[in-house]
């Protein structure tokens, strides 16, 4: 295999946009509708009913509003891992990763994945800060409200909803791209109605917990589909008509076709790609920015305990890496082999930018079976990510808009006051000792136990008046919120339809939505990070920093798009989504927001000592639900602290010190591996020989198989074990309760 390609160099001719496309949808509209609505929709509703039954009959927490948005707060390690994998696995990763690989070669496929993996690896460290400093928060906006007050809270509510719209735009366009290629006569209205039903059908029944189950099936089915694809390309005997899919043919095509300027020897068969490295750098900032700004990503951090969250994120990074790396490389090389034999590109530049490479390759290789495989992967990814967005928007509306501004339980309360009595929970905010909250804990309230016993029997009706004089009114208020939550999910789901139609009619392509729109969120990255990690950050600092950074990012994209490319901004979609335009915008946005936020915060903060810093974090510790205190979630960890003792940030940091060490040490090692060691090894190769190419391909395939084994087996096993443990605990608690009641009655 040495030398036969040494003198072959060719450039593929582009296909004119007005030529007939070779893309031929393989599925009938009714087949796709039945598969997606009855198949995947039916599966999701079934899982929602199962999850709802478990919360009601095993965990006994279905009556809590928080359960709908944190799945009980005890999600297992493996389920956290596959959920994070699923949430980071957007449909665009199946589609746009191949587009990047086509344009930049092997380097683009590798650095595309590394950029997003580094984002995942940052979150174990961030989740430790979140869970130890604000263990009761259900949205990241609650932290902003408790620290900075209304102005910053309203501002970042708008930012969070903007992030949801950016994500939803990418999902809608990815769904449109996939279904239009795979399904015959699929109109925009057909696509968006299917997506809306898939996004919201099961959220209403099972809440966030069902999203975790759907994420498991999404990840498992993605791995199964990917393994079938890999086996078809690399391990099965080919017909003479499919000689383009052999490893030798893939290598010949990628070696002979000229790559872009900036690649070593203008080769696609190299990791030394300037454009690929720039894409990886951009994707790191864009993925991190969307993760920080999108409440859907925070939900998985909130739903797991610190230890499970830290380890789950590390595993997710390694599992996720295998999927886009393998599928982008396999799809891109197969497409290039087909085009090389044809002498021209088989798809137009518009089709390539829209992410049609993977659908085209699967249908060419496998016919309608390939269409079914891809629609399975894309549908599950759409369901997982789309439902997360529906739940995220609903949680922001319920917790941060309706409960805070529209219909608060106490209209004159401050962010750090008790919801029950209105007195302060933070010492520094009170002027007299008797102004501090001394409300009875819900676990010590016998009247509440009687109220809950009645509610769990199902005999209570909406609007029921509770017996407890301390917690009863707020319990009734939370019933109203639960009722409102359900309607909120319905209306958010309905709202997807007109928004999706507007996006589809706008002419925005998937490439621009994935890269340019996400780049506009990069200025909010550092201000949000400092809000959680730095006690000296202030409201005026984070607002002015992110606002000035956004102006700088937009300016950078427009200036480079106009001056560095032919036709300038007249070719707006293309020239504002090139790597140089995006790099300029992201660099200007991140640098400006960082400098302004830090400088203004240093000038305006009131932190003068460690005690002041501890008081600042006391504000976030005070975020809590009086009916479902976060202390109940950490009973085992807090068993050595008396239940009347006030927990501080230092207490939480000491208790979870081991998890923090794992986060920092494991994160440091993993970041060193993916940021330094791995790229250094790959960049040491110039143009890959056939043996080096085969070794890299085999490495990706083995990595994929190991990830598949974990993703398919571990979550159901661990979930069953946790459910059985809770069931046994319930039996023990019931026996103890009977004994205590008898003792209490005897005492009376």
Confidence band, pLDDT 50/70/90 cuts, at residue 483:
confident
Q: How far apart are CA 545 and CA 594, in angstroms?
A: 7
Q: How far apart are CA 674 and CA 669, in angstroms?
A: 9
Confidence band, pLDDT 50/70/90 cuts, at residue 3:
very low
Q: Give the DSSP letter of residue 425.
A: S
What SS3 state is found at 27?
Answer: strand
Considering only residues 43 and 488, tell me which one the structure prediction assigns the higher pLDDT: 488
Neighbours of 464 (CB within 10 A): 15
At 306, give phi and psi (nearest 5°). -55, -50
Q: Give the DSSP letter of residue 183.
A: B
Q: What is the mean pLDDT of the chain?
A: 80
What per-residue string of b and e applies to 606-642 under the rule 16 or more CB within 10 Å gives b? ebeeeeebbbbbbbbbbbbbbbbbbbebbeebbeeee
What are the counts of helices (DSSP H) followed by strands (DSSP E) for the chain? Answer: 31, 2
Interacting residues of 383 by C-beta distance below 8 A, sequence separation 6+: 40, 44, 198, 199, 214, 218
Q: How far apart are CA 621 and CA 135, in angstroms?
A: 7
Considering only residues 744 and 578, tell me which one the structure prediction assigns the higher pLDDT: 578
Nearest CA among 91, 80, 379, 373 for reference residue 227:
373
Q: State the architecture of 28-58+66-405+469-503+658-710 in CATH terms.
A: Up-down Bundle (1.20)
Cross-strand bridge partners of residue 267:
258
Mean pLDDT for 462-468 is 68
What SS3 state is found at 118?
Answer: helix
First-to-last C-alpha distance (Å) of the chain: 91
Nearest CA among 256, 276, 338 for reference residue 109:
276
Q: How far apart are CA 219 and CA 291, in angstroms?
A: 19
Interacting residues of 531 by C-beta distance below 8 A, sequence separation 6+: 143, 144, 147, 148, 537, 542
Q: What is the pLDDT of residue 305?
A: 72
Residue for token pair 């920092």? 664
pLDDT digits (tens, 9 = 90+) for 567-619: 888 888 888 888 888 889 999 999 999 999 999 999 999 888 888 888 888 88
Q: Where are the alpha helices (DSSP H) in 400-462?
A: 446-456
Which pairing describes strands 13-15 and 344-348: parallel, antiparallel, or unpaired? parallel
What SS3 state is found at 345?
Answer: strand
Neighbours of 536 (CB within 10 A): 17
pLDDT surpasses 80 at 234: no
Q: Which two tokens stand for residue 543?
A: 């607002």
Of 17-31, 293-307, 394-408, 509-523, the range with the lowest mean pLDDT is 17-31
The residue extents of the domains of the chain are 28-58+66-405+469-503+658-710, 520-605
Calculate ∠ Cα 714-715-716, nearest 5°.
Answer: 100
Confidence band, pLDDT 50/70/90 cuts, at residue 279:
confident
User: Please, what sign has the CA dihedral across residues 438, 444, 445, 449?
Assistant: positive
Q: What is the pLDDT of residue 275?
A: 85
Mean pLDDT for 49-67 is 66
Q: Give the DSSP letter of residue 537.
A: -
pLDDT surpasses 70 at 463: no
Q: What is the DSSP string of 128-180?
A: HHHHHH-TT-SSHHHHHHHHH-HHHHHHHHHHHHHHHHHHHHHHHHHHHHHHH
Considering only residues 215 and 403, tell me which one the structure prediction assigns the higher pLDDT: 403
Mean pLDDT for 548-564 is 91
Interacting residues of 233 by C-beta distance below 8 A, sequence separation 6+: 245, 250, 330, 334, 365
* CB-based burial label for 412 (10 Å; 0-12, 13-18, 19+): exposed
Share above pLDDT 90 across residues of the chain, in percent, rounded to a whole number: 10
Q: What is the pLDDT of residue 571?
A: 83
Q: What is the pLDDT of residue 545?
A: 94
Confidence band, pLDDT 50/70/90 cuts, at residue 456:
low
Interacting residues of 702 by C-beta distance below 8 A, sequence separation 6+: none
Confidence band, pLDDT 50/70/90 cuts, at residue 4:
very low
Considering only residues 2 and 181, tell me which one the structure prediction assigns the higher pLDDT: 181
Of 19-28, 348-357, 656-665, the range with the lowest mean pLDDT is 19-28
Residue for token pair 């951009």? 282
Q: How far is CA 72 from CA 64, 80, 124, 219, in A?
A: 9, 13, 20, 22
Taking a C-beta distance cutoff of 8 angstroms, is the pair 358, 98 a contact? yes
Please compute, for residue 589, the number of CA atoms within 13 A of its CA located in the half-sphere on the CB side. Answer: 31
Interacting residues of 291 by C-beta distance below 8 A, sequence separation 6+: 119, 123, 297
Taking a C-beta distance cutoff of 8 angstroms, is the pair 1, 690 a contact? yes
pLDDT digits (tens, 9 = 90+) for 14-44: 665 555 556 667 677 777 777 777 777 677 7
Taking a C-beta distance cutoff of 8 angstroms, is the pair 501, 188 a contact? yes
What per-residue string of b and e applies to 85-111 under the rule 16 or more CB within 10 Å gives b? bbbbbbbbbbbbbbbbbbbbbbbbbbb
Taking a C-beta distance cutoff of 8 angstroms, is the pair 222, 409 a contact? no
Of 269-278, 551-560, 640-649, the range with the lowest mean pLDDT is 640-649
Q: Which two tokens stand for residue 218?
A: 């999404």
């Amino acid at each position: 295999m040495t030398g036969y390609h040494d003198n072959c160099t060719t450039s593929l001719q582009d296909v004119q946009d007005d030529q007939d496309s070779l893309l031929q949808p393989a599925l009938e509209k009714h087949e796709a509708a039945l598969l997606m609505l009855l198949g995947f929709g039916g599966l999701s509703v079934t899982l929602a009913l199962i999850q709802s039954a478990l919360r009601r009959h095993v965990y006994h927490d279905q009556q809590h509003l928080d359960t709908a948005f944190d799945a009980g707060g005890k999600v297992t390690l493996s389920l956290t891992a596959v959920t994070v994998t699923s949430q980071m696995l957007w449909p665009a990763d199946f589609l746009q990763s191949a587009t990047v690989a086509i344009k930049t070669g092997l380097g683009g496929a590798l650095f595309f994945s590394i950029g997003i993996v580094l984002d995942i690896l940052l979150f174990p460290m961030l989740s430790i800060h979140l869970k130890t400093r604000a263990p009761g928060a259900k949205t990241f906006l609650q932290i902003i409200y408790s620290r900075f007050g209304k102005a910053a809270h309203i501002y970042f509510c708008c930012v969070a909803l903007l992030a949801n719209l950016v994500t939803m735009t990418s999902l809608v366009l990815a769904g449109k791209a996939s279904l239009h290629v795979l399904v015959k006569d699929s109109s925009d209205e057909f696509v968006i109605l299917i997506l809306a039903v898939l996004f919201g059908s099961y959220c209403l029944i099972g809440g966030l917990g069902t999203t975790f189950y759907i994420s498991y099936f999404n990840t498992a089915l993605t791995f199964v589909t990917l393994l079938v694809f890999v086996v078809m390309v690399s391990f099965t005997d080919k017909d003479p008509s499919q000689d383009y899919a052999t490893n030798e043919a893939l290598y010949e095509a990628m070696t002979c076709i000229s790559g872009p300027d900036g690649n070593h020897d203008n080769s696609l068969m190299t990791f030394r790609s300037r454009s690929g490295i720039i894409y990886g750098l951009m994707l790191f900032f864009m993925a991190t920015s969307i993760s920080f700004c999108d409440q859907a990503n925070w939900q998985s951090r909130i739903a797991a305990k610190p230890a499970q969250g830290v380890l789950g994120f590390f595993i997710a990074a390694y599992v996720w890496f295998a999927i886009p790396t393998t599928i982008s490389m396999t799809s891109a090389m197969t497409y290039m082999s087909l085009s090389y034999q044809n002498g021209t590109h088989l798809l137009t530049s518009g089709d390539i930018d829209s992410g049609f490479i993977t659908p085209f390759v699967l249908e060419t290789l496998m016919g309608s079976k390939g269409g079914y495989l891809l629609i399975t992967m894309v549908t599950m990814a759409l369901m997982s990510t789309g439902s997360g967005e529906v739940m995220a928007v609903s949680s922001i509306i319920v917790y941060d808009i309706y409960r805070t501004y529209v219909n608060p339980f106490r209209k004159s309360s401050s962010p750090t006051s008790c919801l029950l009595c209105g007195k302060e929970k933070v010492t520094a905010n009170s002027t007299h000792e008797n102004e501090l909250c001394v409300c009875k804990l819900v676990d010590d309230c016998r009247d509440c136990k009687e109220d809950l016993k009645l509610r769990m029997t199902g005999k209570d009706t909406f609007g029921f008046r509770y017996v407890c004089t301390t917690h009863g009114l707020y319990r009734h208020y939370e019933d109203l919120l639960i009722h409102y939550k359900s309607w909120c999910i319905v209306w958010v789901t309905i709202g997807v339809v007109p928004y999706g139609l507007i996006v589809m009619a706008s002419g925005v392509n998937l490439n621009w939505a994935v890269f340019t729109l996400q780049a506009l969120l990069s200025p909010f990255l550092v201000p949000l990070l400092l809000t959680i990690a730095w006690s000296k950050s202030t409201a005026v600092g984070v607002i002015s920093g992110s606002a000035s950074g956004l102006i700088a990012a937009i300016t950078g994209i427009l200036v480079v798009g106009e001056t560095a490319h032919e036709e300038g901004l007249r070719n707006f979609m293309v020239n504002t989504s090139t790597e140089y335009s995006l790099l300029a915008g992201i660099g200007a946005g991140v640098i400006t927001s960082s400098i302004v936020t830090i400088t203004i915060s240093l000038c305006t903060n009131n932190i003068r000592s460690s005690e002041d810093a501890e008081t600042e974090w006391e504000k976030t510790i005070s975020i809590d639900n009086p009916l479902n205190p976060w202390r109940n979630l950490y009973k085992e960890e807090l068993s050595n602290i008396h239940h009347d003792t006030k927990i501080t940030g230092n207490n939480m940091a000491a208790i979870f010190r081991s998890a923090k060490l794992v986060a920092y040490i494991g994160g440091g090692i993993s970041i060193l591996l993916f940021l330094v060691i791995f790229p250094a090894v790959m960049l040491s190769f110039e143009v890959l020989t056939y043996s080096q190419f085969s070794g890299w391909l085999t490495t990706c395939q083995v990595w994929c198989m190991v990830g598949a084994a974990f993703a398919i087996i571990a979550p159901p096993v661990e979930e069953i074990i946790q459910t059985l443990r809770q069931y046994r605990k319930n039996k023990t608690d019931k026996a103890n309760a009977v004994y205590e009641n008898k003792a209490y009655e005897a005492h009376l």
